[in-house]
Each structure stands twice: as C-alpha cells, then as structure tokens.
Structure 1
C-alpha cells in the first residue's frame, strides 16, 4: 500500500516544516537510496546544491531560487535526521542552537548594548565569538573556501575588529604598489628569466589587494568575476555560432576574424 502523502497546509511555516520532516522520515525508512546515505555521502551533493542556489541568485531566477532553497533545506534536515539516529543531536537541537547563537550575538537587540551602525555590530560579533572560545578572529573562515571568497571573508573579519585602511585612496595605493612589485618579478618588456615562484607570490598579493579595494568600495569580487565569466562565455559562444553559420572552424580562423564577431557580441 502507498504511504499517505502529508497534506499541504498553506501559510503555516511550522506545518510546512513538519511536512518536510515527515516526508524525510518516510524516505529514510523506506527508500533504499535514502537509507544508504551518510553525512559523508551527502556532503558533495550539498556543495552542488549550494552552487545551484548561487547560480539561480546570480541569474535573478526567483522560481529557481525557491526550488534550490528547498533542496538545501532538505539536505540540512537530512543531516539532522542522520545525527538523531545516533543520538548525537536532533533538528530541534539545531534550531535552538542557532537561535541561541543569534540572540547571544545581538546584545544590541536582546540586551542593553548600544551600537551606532553595522560596523559596531560586526565588531561586537567578532568579540563575542572570541569570548565563546574562538582562538582567532580568522578561525571561522573555512579552509576549503575558494581562494577569492576566502580573501573577502578574511578581510571582512579583520575589518570587524578595526584592522583596516582609513580610506580608499590608501587601498588603491596598495594596489599600485603590489602591481609594481609583480611587474618587477614578471617583466613583460625585458627578455629575462622569470622566477615563477616569486611572480606567483606577487600576483597573489596583487589579487588580494584588488579584493580589498573592491570590498572597500562595496563590490563583491566573487560576483563581479562570475559576471565577467558569464559575459565572456556568452560572447565566445556567439563567435562559435557565427563561425558555424559561415561554415568555418574556430581553429582555422584568424584572430582578426574572431575579433569581428567578438565586437558584434559586445553590442548585443
């Protein structure tokens, strides 16, 4: 006999959440695939779902955002379900834990601490984390974060305790300084041997300083680079399409010929 399908209860978040818990309980018990899963086997799938959510956000596709949020939510509940089976913690513990953390780290809302702006809030947040046992302000930055995102988070956390430049002019001067140091190691004019290890180090410093400047003027460098990636893909695929329409292969075209199509793509 088929299982009873839990009904949809409109406009009731608690009932909707309970519906998800009920469905997952059933799947965990009766579906061979769901029964087999562990935290380790789910991990890479969760990462994939998170990136799909990120793509939907960048695309501005709210229908997909809703769908991907559901997928991520399901994964979070799944982890808690697995932990409950070994009596480590439950979804109730997870939810109460995050509520307690938010209450504790917002003393300007749930206590008598006064703040002037968001920077005060961030400073308080980092100071509270240190009191909770964090050995370093940077300790909360995941080691496996992509390097560009990690650079942003490192800088944001350092800023949270007041370690930052005073104005954007100083930050841009640092960018120019790092650019010059990179050029010194990777001289594009002279035909001299390049120390790639030093050049790589200086290039990393240059990127880090550019990320810093982006943060200082309110640009998310990850979003900016991803938009450029997508723009390049769109224009390059236009070249491929036009070449195919004209019976040509890209590898047989000159750069000048490809540039014609590239410039056309820029106008679209």
Structure 2
C-alpha cells in the first residue's frame, strides 16, 4: 500500500495543517506557516477562534457522554490528532465508548495512530473516506464493526462545514444522519461572518487565494441545518457560549466566527 505521506502536497497550504500551525502544532510545512501568518494578520483573533471551536467539541462530547448516555461516536472531518481527542474526552466518562474517526486527508491518515490509542474497555477506528460520500463511511468495515445502529450515535461535524458549498451541504448532513437511529445526536459547528464581518471576510478571501474556498453563513442559515431535529438549549449560538466553562466568560463575541449546536434526532 502506498505510504500516505507520499500523497501529501507540501507545495500548497492545506486547511488541516494551517489549523495545526495556528494552534501551535508541529505537523505543517513552510507554505502552511505563510498562509496561517497571512490569515492572522487579517484577523489576529483567529487562534482564539480556532481554540474555542475545538473546546466546543470537547464540551459537546462530554455533554453527550455524561448527560445523554451516548457511548458511540462518529467524528467526521477529524483533522490532525490534537490531544485531547474525542475518544480521550468521552472515555474519561465512559471507558467502553466506541469512536469512529473519518477523514480523507493523507496527512491525517499518516498520523492516525494517535487516534487509535483507546482505553482498553473501548475501541477506536479510523476511516480514510470522503465525507461527501457518506455511503463509503457507513459501509466501511470499521463503521460496521464499532457502531451498533440499534443504539444512538453522536455524530460530530466540527469545523468542516464552511468548506462544503451549497447546495450539497444540507443534503450531506441529511445523508450522514439518515442511517443513525432515533435518539442519536448531531453536534456541529458552522462558520459565520456575523460578528467580525470585515476581518473574517478577509480571512475567507485568503483561504480562497490558497485554493481553499469557504462559505460563511448567517444565523438563520446555520439554524436551518438543524431542521427536523430537536435542539438542545441554548440552541444555535456562538461556540464559546454553548455550555461555557468559567474561563470562557471573558472571550469576546467579535473573536469568534463559529456557531455551534447539539440536536437530537427524533
């Protein structure tokens, strides 16, 4: 099998590596540093925004495990392993939890072993698949082995929807939810320019220049992704305001360009 590192393009910036660089990781290249620095010049709050997006994932995972008893998760668009990963968060609460990670980025695949260090009682797996082909995920051996579709699943779509352009976006979420049983949950974050339109707009333009086109959505559009689902309070809100921890109370709204929500499938 071809080494996944052989598929990595080090001549153009990649969203996962830019994210890694801005968050202080080590799995990136000079082209990603250049792109990340340009984005931060446009909007110095970008690192705060990215950290809060990831913290939302942690809180949503804990909420689903602790408050709703979810013991199996499907994490779409996983990105580079950055501890704590989802399985580390939920297995602290329920060690027997199962987590299936999905991404189709060769650099993520090259580092996927860090996602497979499960608690002995639980299990994790990584699926190298395109989220825009949901059937390749749900028909994968890893999905079938780890997720019991007679029990609810926590579907996590974090920090990826702004790279999915309409009209495919809502249909994609529907297709990912469709095979999951009643009582499953969707946790999702959605990029927006509602709170710092000029600065975030310039970041979006920089992504476009780097051949990473993105779509920003207003609150009404973000809300529409949850049509037919039962939103958990406080609904669709900036990620730092969803069940915040004490040290998040000082985060400025203007520093966050992401809505987040958790909703139940009836």
- Greater C-alpha Rg: 1
TM-score, normalization by structure 1: 0.19
Greater strand proportion: 2
Of the two structures, which has the highest relative contact order with CA contacts closer than 8 Å and spacing of 6 or more?
A: 2
Q: Which has the higher helix share?
A: 1
